[in-house]
Amino acid sequence: MSTIPQSRPRFGLPRLSWPVLIAAGLLLAVIVTVIVRLTTASTTDPLAGVTLAPVVRGDLRLTVNATGSIEPNQTAALSLTIPGRVQEVLVTVGQQVTAGDPLLRLDDRQLRADVAAAQAAVALAQADLQALRERATPEQQAEAAALVAAAQAGLAQTQASVTPADVAAAQAAVEEARARLQELLNGPTPEQRARAEAALTQAKAELERQRELLSAAKSEAQARIEAQANVVRNAQSAYSDAYWNWEHVKAKGTDPRSGRSLNEAEQRDFERAFERAARALADAEAGLAQAQIAYQTAVQNEISGLAAAEARVASAQADLDALLAGPNTDTVAAARAQLARAEAELARLTGAARQSAIVVQQAQLEAAQARLAQLTADPRASDLARAEARLAQAQAQLEAARIRLDEATLRAPFAGVVAAVDVAPGEAVGNQAPIILIDVSRYLIKVTVDEVDISRVTTGQPVEVTVDALDAPPFRGQVVNVEPLPAGNSGVTAYQVTIAFDPAGQPVRPGMTTTTAIIAATRSNVLQIPVTAIRNVGAKTLVDVVTVAENGQRALSERSVLVGLRANGMVEIQSGLAEGEQVVVR
């Protein structure tokens, strides 16, 4: 029986079918994809989408801003102590004068004659006394006779001193003052009312035009800020990409996108791309800062421009209201006083005043005659006493006459500029102030500061003064006074602050509108970050700081800092951060 040999079984991998191979390939692809994604996720920047700001070093300045109008350092309405007729006006509006300079001179002919008469009376009294002490000589008797003749001539001159022209001028002044008073009592004319209403309409139209123009300028500045902010965000994104690409190239020497090895020139291209991105970011941030400054300027221009336009409307409305209300009691009283002075001057030339001058000359003639008589009589003790008394009286009258003569000249009490001249030669003046003098050696600005800011303001602080009407750099000023009590009766509590500044030769004028910046505090060369980067947790002030691990991975760490001055959206960092570090801005 034959045996058929059987084959030995073979061991190995079973033959796989095509569906099994395809499924296995798909599974392998999924596994590789998951691994790649996990690897990529592990290298994703954890700070993506976060706004960062560097810790920088620079100056900080805290200011308190306010607006106000320029005033002179001093203002004086100058008047004479005696009435009279103006002989000469020695200054014009705008003229510079020094202390003691003559500004106006009255007709002093009578006053000079009074001084001369008083001098003669003194000489006469001295001679009388001397004649009593010594026996009179023929020459002295002749002199006494000559004095009698001089006194007679003086009396005659006084009696003829008032001319018809003087009386006519005084009568004309009375008529002019009477017509002015009647005009005030009659009220405004239709032409005056029409001019006042037209001025108010024009002021309101100008206010609306200013409101539209300044609002449009502010809106345009706001739009530029928003556009520049977009530029900054784009530049930050580009800078972040370029930074991490360059960090990758420096660390590994390969293309961060393809992983391909790079030669030195190609690596240099990545470095230049990073530098360009850094410059672009700096330029964008500078543009944003400039746009913010332009917006603040537009806001200040709107505030000051509208305030000036509203002030003109209020002034025009007040003028119209005053015109419609008619003259107030003070104006009518002043007109009545002017009429009274004119009538008094006329009375002086034609009435009792003239008679008084004649009486004085007659008394001098009688004194001269009495002296002549005394020279022929023997002196007695009582005569000597009376002579000494008459000498003392004559000397006192001479001093009084000299004072009155000096008071006929109006002089500058301080150095300054003539602001107004309200008188002309030939006019009669009394107690009114015909000349206004202002001291412009420096100027004052009185501003109101809100109760929130007043605690930061003290005397002696420097101030930057910008005159809106001048194209000039800010002037340097100083706070010279802070009122202890609040100003006005409005619902807002504010305090008046007085600022002094030197015009430095610029054409500054009283009444000009100014914008002032009181420098309340400064810090030089200090570390600073945006205020929005800090947050307060209990008694601590915290920031989120970017840290970089040895493998180049960035992360955030919370850090406590000590802060100082806050100003213009930035805050001083006294400790806790170093220059160049980056913090998260919210």
Each domain of the chain, given as residue ranges in start order, spans 52-58+525-584, 108-187+330-407, 200-326
- Burial of 109: CB neighbours in 10 Å, binned 0-12, 13-18, 19+: exposed
Confidence of residue 81 (pLDDT cuts 50, 70, 90): confident
pTM over 0.85: no
Confidence of residue 462 (pLDDT cuts 50, 70, 90): very high
Task: Give mean pLDDT, residues 280-284.
Answer: 91
Coil, strand or helix: which one is 142?
helix
Nearest to 395 by CA among 133, 128, 126: 126
- Tell me if 82 sits within 8 A of 432, measured CB to CB: no
Task: Say how far residue 464 (Cα) sits from the centre of its chain.
Answer: 9
Confidence of residue 351 (pLDDT cuts 50, 70, 90): low
Question: CA–CA distance from 407 to each of 105, 107, 362, 500 (Å)?
Answer: 9, 11, 26, 34
| Amino acid 2: pLDDT | 37
Instruction: Tell the CATH topology of 52-58+525-584.
Output: 2.40.420
Task: Give mean pLDDT, residues 499-521.
Answer: 91
Confidence of residue 4 (pLDDT cuts 50, 70, 90): very low
Task: Give mean pLDDT, residues 405-432.
Answer: 90
Confidence of residue 567 (pLDDT cuts 50, 70, 90): confident
* Least trusted range by pLDDT, from 18-27, 61-70, 537-546, 551-560: 18-27
| Amino acid 1: pLDDT | 38
Task: Give mean pLDDT, residues 186-209.
Answer: 85
Q: What is the DSSP letter of 253?
A: -
Mean predicted lDDT score pLDDT of the chain: 84
What's the distance, Cα to Cα, between the start and end of the chain in Å?
A: 100
Judge whether residue 7 has pLDDT over 50: no
Interatomic CA distance for residues 568 and 67, integer angstroms: 19
Burial 447-482 (b: 16+ CB within 10 A, else e): bbbeeebbeebeeebebbbbbeeeeeeebebbbbee
Helices 138-159 and 109-133, axial angle in degrees (round to 10): 160
- The amino acid at residue 11 is F
- The amino acid at residue 361 is Q
Q: Report the DSSP beta bridge partners of residue 428.
A: 85
